[in-house]
Amino acid sequence: MHFSSVRGEGRTRSLALLGKRIPDSVIRVELITFFHRYPGTHFGACEIAERLERDPLQVEAQLERLAQLNILEKSEMEGETVYRYRPPYCAAWEER
């Protein structure tokens, strides 16, 4: 879903935040913290942006960055791009 099609009262709040630029590193920390609170669940960029009350375009860009870094897993669910936390890999865990 593209952000131009976001509906509901959260859209007004999200669009109002477009003028406030938060450093990308802060957004990434907030995203990692968000996924740490909800392990194993999938979220779309729009939903995360509304929950964090951040610029949807900036959130989407940082979700993509975290997916490139293999911190998040990106997949498709019911026609929507969703993200979930990817736990760190440790070879020692496989020995157990």
Range of the domain at 46: 3-95
Please report the pLDDT score of residue 53 as a whole number: 95
Q: Please count the structural domains in the chain.
A: 1
Q: How many residues does the chain have?
A: 96
Q: Can you give the CATH number for the domain in which 73 is found?
A: 1.10.10.10
Two tokens, residue 26:
């802060």
How far apart are the C-alpha atoms of 73 and 67, rounded to whole Å? 6
pTM as predicted: 0.71
96 residues of the chain, pLDDT tens digit each: 444 444 444 444 544 445 568 999 999 999 999 999 998 899 999 999 999 999 999 999 999 999 999 999 999 999 999 999 987 765 555 555
How far apart are the C-alpha atoms of 46 and 59, rounded to whole Å? 8
Alpha-carbon distances of 46 from 15, 23, 90, rounded to whole Å:
12, 19, 32
CB distance 74 to 67 below 8 Å = yes
